[in-house]
Amino acid sequence: MRTTTIFTLKEPLRFKKQLLQWSKRFEEIAWLDSNNYHQNHGEFDALLAVGAFTAVKTDYHQAFAKLQEYQQTTKDWIFGYLSYDLKNDVENLSSKNFDGLAFPDLYFFQPQKLFLLKGDQLEMRYLRMLDDEIEEDFSEILNLSVADSHQPKRDDLKAKIQSRISKEEYLQKLDKMLAYIQRGDIYEANFCQEFFVDNREIEPFEVFRDLNEISGPPFATFLKLEEYYLLSASPERYLKKIGSKLISQPIKGTARRSKNPEEDLQIAKELSKDPKEQSENVMIVDLVRNDLSKIAKKASVKVDELCEVYSFKQVHQMISTISAEIDNGIPPVEALRATFPMGSMTGAPKISAMKIIEELEETKRGLYSGAVGYFTPEGDFDFNVVIRSILYNSNKKYVSFSVGGAITAGSIPEKEYEECLLKALAMRKVLS
């Protein structure tokens, strides 16, 4: 089905920039960049998929069944996203909040041209009908001049970034959330708020490049599907399947970085010992273990890392790693359906938390807190969690980013609001 040609690159980092620049001509683009972060079970340094040969696009009704049929029919590489609102396909739930972006709930495509980078090795895997273009494309990409990093004019976006809810409303909503927790309806819930810019155009490639330079995360994504754009600096893996092994790496616990090395080390140490952050993380680990047990071989679910602190350019994060062996006869898409949405973006108990989230949040989450990733022809997959991300509908000229945090009995509303602003910093900066 595909012709594979392997090249050795003299300047892999430069080639990555050239490759992303070359991709601009396509209507469908999926760019996944690990930013050379090799501590996270990564298979590739970067992947680029362009040009849809086939695609599936749908709302939440029977979405996972449609994806399973598409994945099993193509038996090829497919790239795309699962929006948070696929929860309505998994459970008897609804999404009735405001939606300024109007993204489809699910969108995947089978690329005509695929690039896989690891170290100085590049694999170009083209559909056979296009294999005569491999050498020509490689030569063209190699000869592209790469623009130097700069801060493009963004029409004074920062001044026009609006919050969907005021700080006062946020604090009131958190008081209601805490009342639900005190009543015993939930133990924890992830509460999010949207920031948006209406009737504005942005240059998505430039914004993504700046966001990625600021953050350098292991699950960075640039996604363009028609008029729908995702510019993501996600540090979090939702779920990976390689052979029969499943790996999930939820994040719960965030602290700022400091330019002073001693202070920075102290902040990381305090995060690692913070009882509130630890309890948030452990609750989600339990939820992920429970989700994975639905589709795992008996006694195969293991916690490989608990509450480990990882440091990224913008923040320190507390991450846990849970693994399992998928049970015999379980289709790959079922592993996603059984664990979706990811526990780090919902809460515990999961269904109660999702109902309360829907009641208290003002915005339909859509792709935010969903997942982006790919399937291989063998049925392996890797998906991130869509956080620290800018969403853009170029037809509607609507720019949006959301931030949130886990609310537990120990949460102090004012501090939770400050954490939201910390998480929003990078997105605000690149839109300024």
Say what the pLDDT of residue 191 is: 97
Cα angle 40-46-51, degrees, rounded to a multiple of 5: 135
- Whether 158 is in a domain gets the answer no
Tell whether the model's pLDDT for residue 180 goes beyond 70. yes
Per DSSP, the three-state class of 97 is: coil
Residue type, 229: Y
State the pLDDT confidence band at 41, using cuts at 50, 70 and 90. Answer: confident
What is the enclosing helix (H) or strand (E) of 417?
Answer: helix 413-430
- pLDDT for residue 146: 83
Whole-Å CA distances, 370 to 53, 199, 206, 373, 407: 24, 25, 23, 10, 19
* Average pLDDT of span 199-221: 95
pLDDT digits (tens, 9 = 90+) for 244-280: 999 999 999 999 999 999 999 999 999 999 999 999 9
pLDDT tens digit sequence for 47-86: 999 999 999 999 999 999 999 999 999 999 999 999 999 9
Task: Specify if 259 maps to a domain.
Answer: no
CA distance 82 to 61: 13
Residue 296 belongs to some domain of the structure: no
Confidence of residue 148 (pLDDT cuts 50, 70, 90): low
Helix, strand, coil shares of the chain, percent, nearest 5, are 35, 35, 30
Averaged pLDDT score across all residues of the chain: 94
pLDDT value at position 413?
Answer: 96
pLDDT tier at 10, thresholds 50, 70, 90:
very high
Residue 120: helix, strand or coil by DSSP? coil
Q: What is the mean pLDDT of residues 385-394?
A: 97
CA distance 295 to 49: 29
In a domain, 317, yes or no: no
Structural domain harbouring 425: 2-144+164-247+331-430
Q: What is the pLDDT of residue 42?
A: 76
Whether residue 298 is contained in a domain is answered as no
pLDDT at 137 over 60: yes
Please say if the pLDDT value at position 345 is more than 90.
yes
The model's pLDDT over 359-371, given as tens digits with 9 standing for 90+, comes to: 999 999 999 999 9
| pLDDT in the model for residue 40 | 61
pLDDT at 160: 86
What is residue 38's predicted lDDT score, i.e. its pLDDT?
Answer: 65
Select from 199, 203, 196 the least CA-distant residue to 153: 203
pLDDT at 39 over 70: no
Is 80 exceeded by the pLDDT of residue 417?
Answer: yes
Say how many residues make up the chain. Answer: 432
Question: So which residues are the catalytic ones?
Answer: 236, 252
Looking at the structure of the chain, the number of domains it has is 1
- Across the range 211-222, mean pLDDT stands at 95
Contact indicator for 228, 393 with CB cutoff of 8 Å:
yes
69 and 107 in contact (C-beta within 8 Å)?
no
**What does the pLDDT read at residue 209?**
95
pLDDT(184) > 80: yes
Q: For the domain that residue 350 is a member of, what is the CATH number?
A: 3.60.120.10
Q: Decide if 302 is inside a domain.
A: no
Summarize pLDDT for 276-297 with one digit per residue, the tens.
999 999 999 999 999 999 999 9
Which pairs with CB-CB distance under 8 Å and at least 24 residues apart come from 255-262?
A: 255/315, 255/316, 256/315, 256/316, 256/422, 257/311, 257/312, 257/313, 257/314, 257/315, 257/316
Q: Which of 235, 221, 246 is nearest to 379 (CA)?
A: 246
User: What per-residue confidence (pLDDT) applies to 155?
Assistant: 53
Q: What pLDDT, on a 0 to 100 scale, did the predictor assign at position 1? A: 87
312 found inside a domain:
no
**CB burial readout 377-386, b (16+ within 10 A) else e:** eebbbbbbbb
Query: Token pair of 418, please?
Result: 């400050």
CB count, 10 Å around CB of 418? 13
Is the pLDDT confidence value at 138 over 60? yes
How large is the average pLDDT for residues 88-93? 97
Q: How many CB atoms lie within 10 A of CB 243?
A: 10
| Within a domain: 277 | no
